[in-house]
Chain A
Amino acid sequence: MPSRPVPQPTPETQHFWDGTRAGELRLQRCLDCGAIYFPPRPFCPACSSGDVEVFAASGRARLASFVINHRPAPGFEAPYVIALVDLEEGPRMMTNLVGVDPVPEALSVDMPLEVVFEAVSDEIQLPLFRPAGGSAS
């Protein structure tokens, strides 16, 4: 099966991908205005301050929105869930849901989720989400 698209880290995003490899979902926080943001960049999108830090998020999230894709895609077996999740800390990100059937009956907006990591190459682990309270993988 051909691989799904593999991210290519840049200097500004390297900490995120180092984090997923270490089992952490890393976000950034502005030390001036307190904004927590994603995707990564070395300055705060809310106030432009360059005084920012990287920290490990809780990995807890809620399902913000989703589709169940029924069309073929490289590296995927349809149907599969493409999701937007609102992280507990505030930022939203795109992901896939795992550990749940890709059917409307199994999914509900706002359902609680938790992050898991899945290797797609030697360098890259992707953050995916499963229903909260799922068994340890």
Chain B
Amino acid sequence: MNEAIAIVGAAETTDLGKIPHMSQIQLHADAARNTLADCGLGPGDIDGIATAGESPVNLAHYLGITPAWVDGTSVGGCSFMVHVRHAAAALRAGLCKTVLITHGESGRSRVGRGGFARPAASLSGQFEMPFGPVGPPTLFTLPVMRYLHTYGVTEEQLAQVAVVQRDWAGRNPRAYMRDPISVDDVLGSTMIAWPFRKLMCCLVTDGGGALVLTTADRARDLRRPPVWVLGTGEAVETPMVSQMEDLTSSKAFRLASAQAFGEAGIGPRDVDHLMIYDAFAHLPLYGLEDLGFVGRGEAAAFIGDGHTAPGGRLPLNTNGGGLSYAHSGMYGMYALQESVRQMRGVAPAQIEGANLSVAHGVGGMFAASGTVVMSRELP
């Protein structure tokens, strides 16, 4: 029997949104220090470090930690879900005792932040970049016309995803965008890359977050109720969105979530609370279908019918998501933070009685995926 692993510390940066007075590594540190304070530990208690977007060596040195284990897996915004999986394995193997996972990104203010370049000799540099996809708003969105065409989903239905998430954000004082919006507002917002309007695209903010994980024996002695990691999954497909096997479905989504659900011994019906990384409005559609919550082509109607909205039977992206809460570039950490808040019972839009939460991440335009199943109770 595998030893139980718990998330015992979780916090975000003190501020979210615009944080021009902090460099990127300081955002990591701010989140890390808030998280250590949350669980009542100090840097000396941490012997494992995982991070993405920044070297774990840089982070360890900056925080004054000498780790026995590091993980610098950087596969895009879902890296932190993957870190949770790797940390659980390392803790079970005895490679370390207490792991700190951090995220920090000066996505808006761009203080001390590296670039996003694809070398001209890489496959993407040769066979994608010359055609003018200037970043995620044109790369991540490129498969979607095929999805809309295949399932007869309308632009209005795509817009509805953003409307529902703004409804959740309105209940969250830390959300960056909180005013209610309508489908017409979304469709009337600035055209970015047809059919995507600005309000179908994620925010660009500064921020960070961190988690502390440890084994069950230590977890029970700490100050917060443990949030148990019941199952995890990771998968990669292709670094080139043009080479996805199926433009209407993510292979990485399907594999990572099946791995996590299988490890946890759960199915979609067991899930009380769901986070699906929403860099753009189509991701909850792909996620709901690829994770098995609805059938192929049914996600837009499911959201349109209010099932994922406040009061619905499958609360989804309850912090407001990357569309309305925060999105610094690698959003996965914020999805994990909201799952932990929901399992601790302290979320601003708390789901009463929620016992099982899934945080599902995507990285690098459908290149990678990570899934974490969490619960407030051990089965």
B240, CB-defined interface residue at 8 Å: yes
A94, CB-defined interface residue at 8 Å: yes
A73 to B193, CA, bound (A): 12
By a CB distance below 8 angstroms, the chain B residues around A57 are none
A5 to B137, CA, bound (A): 17
A13 to B241, CA, bound (A): 19
Question: Taking A68-B193, A68-B194, A92-B243 as contacts, is the C-beta distance between A7 and B130 under 8 angstroms?
Answer: yes
Inter-chain contact A70/B126, CB cutoff 8 Å: no
Shortest distance between the CB of A120 and any CB in chain B (Å): 7
B346, CB-defined interface residue at 8 Å: no
Shortest distance between the CB of B95 and any CB in chain A (Å): 33
Interface members, chain B 145-202 (any A CB < 8 Å): 145-146, 149, 190-196
Among B69-77, B117-125, B348-356, the one that faces the other chain is B117-125
Interface string of B185-223 (1 = CB under 8 A from A): 000001111111000000000000000000000000000
By a CB distance below 8 angstroms, the chain A residues around B57 are none
Inter-chain contact A6/B247, CB cutoff 8 Å: no
Inter-chain contact A94/B143, CB cutoff 8 Å: no
Interface members, chain B 81-125 (any A CB < 8 Å): 119-121, 123, 125
By a CB distance below 8 angstroms, the chain A residues around B191 are 70
Inter-chain contact B142/A95, CB cutoff 8 Å: no
Inter-chain contact A5/B142, CB cutoff 8 Å: no
Interface members, chain A 80-131 (any B CB < 8 Å): 80, 82-84, 92-96, 104, 109-110, 120, 126
By a CB distance below 8 angstroms, the chain B residues around A39 are 123, 126-127, 240, 243
A136 to B120, CA, bound (A): 30
A8, CB-defined interface residue at 8 Å: yes
Can you list 13 pairs linking A and B with CB atoms under 8 Å apart? A4-B130, A5-B125, A7-B120, A9-B126, A67-B193, A70-B193, A70-B194, A71-B192, A75-B132, A84-B146, A93-B242, A94-B127, A104-B194
Supplied contacts A68-B193, A69-B138, A95-B131, 5 more A-B pairs, CB within 8 Å: A17-B126, A39-B126, A69-B137, A69-B192, A84-B242
Residues of A within 8 A of B (CB): 4-10, 13, 17, 38-39, 64-73, 75-76, 79-80, 82-84, 92-96, 104, 109-110, 120, 126
Residues of B within 8 A of A (CB): 119-121, 123, 125-134, 137-138, 141-146, 149, 190-196, 240-243, 247
